[in-house]
Amino acid sequence: NGKMLAREPLPLPGHPPLYLTERGVFEGPKCPPDLLSTAAPNPIPARVVESSSGLHLFRALGLPIPEKIQSRVRVKPLEVTIACNLEPIYPGSATELCCFDVTASEPGGRNKMTWTGTGWESQSRRTSNFKWLIDEKPDDEIVTPDRTNMDRIPPLLAPLALAPDPRVSRLSMKVRKDFPTIFADWLKRVPPEITVLLEGDLKCFAGGNVVGTVNLDVAESSQDWFDLKVAIEVTDLALTKEEIKLLLNAKGGFVRLKNKGWKRLEFDISPEEDQQLAALGLSPREFSAEPQRLHVLQLADAAARRFLDEDQVEKIQRRAGEIKARVTPPIPGAIRAELRPYQTEGFHFLAYLASNRFGGILADDMGLGKTLQTLSWLTWLRSEAASTGKEAKPSLVVAPKSVMENWQKETSKFSPGIRVRTWRASELVDLGTNLDQADLHIINYNQLRLAGEGIGGISWQAVILDEGQYIKNPNSQTAQIARVLKSDHRLVLTGTPIENRLMDLWSLMAFAMPGMLGPRQQFSRHYDAPGDPLARKRLAARVRPFLLRRTKSQVAKDLPDRVEEELYCELEGEQKTLYRAELKRAQSVLLGIKSQKELAKQTFHVLTSILRLRQICCSPRLLDPGSKAPNAKMEALMDQLEPLMQEGHKVLVFSQFVEILRMVQDEVQSRQWTFFFLAGDTENRGELVDHFQDHKGSAVFLISLKAGGFGLNLTAASYVVLYDPWWNPAVENQAIDRTHRIGQRNTVNAYRLIVKGSIEEKIRELQKAKK
């Protein structure tokens, strides 16, 4: 402006030309080149650089710091503070934001800065840095800030994905369901050098989790049974019972309590103690508020002692010592069979259940003789009743329709002293008044459903549910009726206690041991919770005393190489009518023959009638493709295949009728089972066999009896079903030998499907005579 300066201005290098004066920096005229030569010295007053900014200048230029300055330097960390509070998005809104104010200041609160999300912004109000520098006293300490804590802020806040929200004009994150977990985890990562200020409901995070200690309250509910409740004592005495219950139901998750913020319950329990509770089938995280029923034998386990007082332990141990923990009676002399070692063990298991008034599940693989073990048990029950002078009540077997005849035949074969009766649907109304006609009554599941609660008034010695998966749906009418049956003993037979879901097992146990696994909703929370590594262990511990399962591989040493069994089914309805009509027609032809000459003339007609009778046994659709008549044998086959597929086995199904194999294929496809098909016109036999052998998981191989009798090695299968009998037993043996050959590591189980009272029984008798 043309005014004279009190001191000579200092020209600064660069463009445009600038001059440093005592009042500031001003633009001025171009300087002579020699004045700004880099070779010319540029004197700087000592008092100007003897400051924190001067120190930064030396460091930025890479210049050595003069000793006079270095001796006055004191490094102090910046004070970084994160203030957090909750605010509604707008007044009255239930949606909240967690807002963050992040500040850093030099010691003494000087030069305060705020983190904007992208960088630091100064809040200081100084008229001139230059004036501050030259006014700094030469004897003061030169304080240089340590920016380490400031540098920690960007990576520390990054996981929270904070963003400026125009509604609150601050960095914030929305408070969602997972907010307390995210926020609590973030707080753990904040280094101690950074201060976090929590306001309002966020103050709860400074106090840590609510800690609960575990004790067991035990109350005797009935003889040999105790109700257990996991009692919890918490460190936060301000919590009400209702609030503690909310924390328990959250299973270790956060719960927001009114005026108390978010709370989470954790247990003061070691991993070893957690394992001990799991061994009892208990978890403080699941059942703390609900009593559980355990048998005295389960509580007698050493795992329970840590949680019980001395008086309770003494009482339980005394009662456990009185219980028959192992019952090993001899096999009843009335049994006409020699039980294998594992079958004897199974019989002892059933005797143990009965001696202690338990129900249970025998869950052996198919083909291991569950029926024989059960008949041995029933025979023993009757002899035990007789030895005490009591009159034995009859027992009831509920089985699939296709295996009712098998129960009848095996009872007569293995325990002829037991009077047995198989009931037809039309006769079932007389069941209650004819109980004394048999010791063992056999009905099917459909009959049980139709009988309804009327059958519930009968008191049985034992009720056995064969193929118990028929009641796997606890809501089904069949399952509900089964649960109200009255009996001294209850037993479930199944090769697949769990088919698709854990609730299958709950339904079976609800019949065998009512109440032992608790209510359904409680069972699902406790044992079917995702991500709980101890859930299955707890469930196994709860059911172990009441469930016995052996696979074929586990008892292989006790098994013969090959087991053959006949499965009988009975024709009903239209199929039975068709068979009787054809039989009557054939008989009339035969009765009209008076000589060998006439017989020779009628041979073709006789053979045709025999073929038609066999076809009707297999399926009425072999005679009439449009027939809608029921097919007893197909139903029996599906009942046989169902558990085998669930257990993951491979099965060969043979028939001399390709049309039958096509029908079986339709049934298999409708159930979405893997299948392979081989008939006389199959070209890629070798490739097909290789695929079957290499296939992982269950599968059905449908094979024509004639096409598959030779040249096949199918050792991947250990089950064979002969759908229809053939005149020559050698042909059937060759079919069974497709899997029973070198390379087979398992026992081969072969099943023959036979229609009771039909020509198939005559063919089977002829086979035995030929052998």
Per the structure block, which two tokens stand in for 376? 């041995």
Consecutive H or E run containing 477? helix 477-483
Per the structure block, which two tokens stand in for 318? 């005394």
Question: 199 and 98 in contact (C-beta within 8 Å)?
Answer: no
> Residue type for 122, please?
S
**Residue for token pair 């996981």:** 159
Which residues, at least 6 apart from 256, have a Cβ–Cβ distance to it below 8 Å? 180, 201, 262, 263
Fold of 324-557: Rossmann fold (3.40.50)
| pLDDT (0 to 100) of residue 218 | 73
Q: What is the rounded distance in angstroms from the CA atom of residue 286 to the CA atom of residue 226? A: 18
SS percent in the chain: helix, strand, coil, step 5: 45, 20, 35
Does the pTM exceed 0.75? no
CATH 3.40.50.300 placement within the chain:
568-770
Q: Residue 528 forms beta bridges with which residues?
A: none
393: phi > 0 → left, psi -120 to 50 → alpha, else beta; which? beta
pLDDT digits (tens, 9 = 90+) for 326-385: 789 999 999 999 999 999 999 999 999 999 888 999 999 888 899 999 999 999 999 999
Question: 491 and 512 in contact (C-beta within 8 Å)?
Answer: yes
Question: Which stretches within 221-291 are classed as H helix?
Answer: 241-249, 271-279, 284-287
With 0-12 CB in 10 A as exposed, 13-18 as middle and 19+ as buried, what is 546? Answer: buried
HSE, CB side, 13 Å, CA atoms: give it for residue 231: 10
pLDDT digits (tens, 9 = 90+) for 707-730: 775 557 788 888 999 999 988 888
CATH 3.40.50.10810 placement within the chain:
324-557
Q: Which CATH number fits domain 568-770: 2.70.210.12, 3.40.50.300, 1.20.140.10, 1.25.10.10?
A: 3.40.50.300
Coil, helix or strand at residue 85: strand
Please state the φ and ψ torsions of residue 397, each to the nearest 5 degrees.
Answer: -115, 125
Mean pLDDT of residues grouped by 10 in the chain (771 residues)? 74 81 82 64 68 74 80 82 92 90 78 87 54 47 80 93 84 92 93 93 85 72 69 74 76 83 79 70 58 70 66 77 77 94 95 91 90 96 89 92 88 95 86 90 93 84 94 93 94 88 92 86 79 78 89 82 88 93 90 82 86 95 91 93 91 94 96 93 84 92 80 82 89 81 78 94 86 70
With 0-12 CB in 10 A as exposed, 13-18 as middle and 19+ as buried, what is 355? Answer: middle
Which residues, at least 6 apart from 62, have a Cβ–Cβ distance to it below 8 Å? none
Which residues, at least 6 apart from 496, have a Cβ–Cβ distance to it below 8 Å? 363, 469, 643, 646, 647
Q: How many CB atoms lie within 10 A of CB 412?
A: 13
Q: What is the rounded distance in angstroms from the CA atom of residue 451 to the CA atom of residue 455? A: 6
